[in-house]
Structure formats: C-alpha cells, structure tokens
Amino acid sequence: MTEWREGEAGTGEGVCVDRLTKTFRRHHALRGVCLEARPGRVTGFLGPNGSGKSTTLRCLLGLQRPDSGTATIEGVRYERHENPTSVVGAVLDSSTVDPAMSGYAHLKVYAAFGGHRAERVDRCVEELEMESYVHRCAGGYSTGMRQRLGIATALLGNPRIVVLDEPTNGLDPDGIAWIRELVRDFAASGRTVLVSTHVLSEFEGVLDDVVIVREGRTLVAGAVERLKEDLGVDSLEAVYAKAGGRR
Ligand SMILES: Nc1ncnc2c1ncn2[C@@H]1O[C@H](COP(=O)(O)OP(=O)(O)OP(=O)(O)O)[C@@H](O)[C@H]1O
C-alpha cells in the first residue's frame, strides 16, 4: 500500500500539508493530516463527513491556524504569498455572494480586491459560459450558476493552483459532468487541482491521485491506478473501502 511517509514534504510545487493538527476545544479535528497535490494532476481529498477535509483546506488557505504541522502552497504559507489569489484560487462552501449584486459586479469587486486586470472578469465569464445571466442579481441564481460564479471568482487571478471543496454539492447530473470536465481541463493546462469530496462516484475516472482521511488522519495517499493495483481492486469506491475510509 502506498502510505504517506512522515517527513515526505513537498518540493515547492503544488500543495503540501504535513502532519497538520487542529483541536476545537477538546475535539481533535485534525490529528496529523498529510497531503500532497502536484501540477498537471487532479488530486481527490476524500473522507466521510467530519473527517477534517474542510478544516485542512481552511488551514491551507490561511483561514484557520493549525496547532502544529505545516500547510504550504508552492513551498510557502498562503499568507506569505505577495499576491495569493494569483497563485491559488479556491472555492469553499462558505464562499458568499451579495444577493443584491450581479455576478458581474461581484467579479469586478473581487478583481479589484485581488489586484487583477479588469479584462480578467470578461475572460472568466466567457470561460465559464456565464454570459446569459452574469448581469442579473446573484440572489436569483441556481446552485449551478452560483457554483460557476464561485469558480469564476477563483480564476480571476489565473492561478496555478485550484482548490475546490465539495464542488458537486447540490448540482444536477449536467452540472456534475461539467465539473468533471472542468477539473480535467484545469489539470491538462498544467494546473494543480485539489478537490475534496465524500461522493466518490462523482469523481470516478477523474482523479489522478487520492488522499483518504478519516477522523483527522491520512489513511492512504497515492496515484489511483497504483492503489487499485496494490489493493487488488478495480474502482475508487473499492480503494476507499479497503483503505478504511468507510465508517
Ligand atoms: N469551528 C469549529 N468549531 C468546532 N468544531 C469544528 C469547527 N470546525 C470543524 N469542527 C469539527 O471538526 C471536525 C472536522 O470538520 P470538517 O468540517 O473539517 O470535516 P469535513 O471532512 O470537511 O466534513 P464534511 O464532509 O461534512 O464537510 C468535525 O467533527 C467538525 O464538527
């Protein structure tokens, strides 16, 4: 089995989380999570509800301070990057949009805030095919439209790394197919893509690498095909079950 080895820290490319711990009052949310995500690959961050995926991503993006361990992006902590939104674009569950604002106005504000060229707004609108509704109030958007707006916001800085927390939540089958294709395109363009999910079937055939966590610990990490071979199974679901991801 391709287990995570302690001290196997990142190379300065992509994302590296090393032995991260975090306690909320007396609850140990993270007990030594390790993960690595590399350029040109889609890495799935998998685990049941409450296993620590969002907390890990929040620590990675400087939104929460870990008790110990390191979480770096291209070898440096998020908050130490001079222009972080040009390095990493993230869509977390908590991403908020003012319902009274149009998607376009939202993107303009975030472009200005991140110090990105105004043309990037039109570029992202076009890339995510949002032209037909982007000038309407975001309060009337469907889940899929909101998801596209979140991703467009993350892409304003044309980041080399994209982090998506549960990106298929609430999407219909067309929306899920779109996300699958999008993350593959991101990786094909050389980006590092880190996607957290607990719905494995939606990412079967999309992930190059996986990191499986449970109860705040990394159970297994490695290339999907290699793990299937090592574990003698033929699906991501079976890798997950054999690695101990199921409750
Ligand atoms: N701010 C907080 N205060 C207290 N406990 C928290 C806080 N944030 C997370 N936790 C707890 O830490 C644990 C890990 O939560 P986290 O949201 O990281 O898991 P997750 O794997 O992302 O779950 P899900 O798939 O349901 O989103 C859970 O038991 C959760 O209740």
pLDDT digits (tens, 9 = 90+) for 66-92: 999 999 999 999 999 999 999 999 999
If one residue of 51, 196, 219 were mutated to test the ligand 1 pocket, choosing by the most ligand atoms within 8 A of its CB, it would be 51
Give the pLDDT confidence of 211-230 residue by residue, as tens digits. 999 999 999 999 999 999 99
Residue nearest to atom 26 of ligand 1 (CA): 49
Length in residues, the chain: 247
Q: CA 226, CA 247: separation in Å to the nearest integer? A: 24
> Please, which pLDDT band fits residue 29 given cuts at 50, 70 and 90?
very high
Report ipTM (2 d.p.). Answer: 0.96
The residues, any chain, with a CB within 8 Å of residue 131's CB and separated by 6 or more, are: 125
Pocket of ligand 1 (CB under 6 A): 24, 27, 29, 47, 49-55, 198
The counts of H helices and E strands in the chain are 8, 9
- What domains, with CATH codes, occur in the chain? 1-74+161-247 (3.40.50.300), 96-159 (no CATH)
Upper half-sphere CA count for residue 126 (Cβ side, 13 Å):
5
pTM for the model:
0.91
Of 119, 131, 10, residue with least CA distance to 60:
10
CA atoms within 13 A on the CB side of 181: 8
CA of 54 to the centre of ligand 1 (A): 7
Residue 140 gets which letter from DSSP? G
Measure 55 CA to ligand 1 centroid, in angstroms: 6
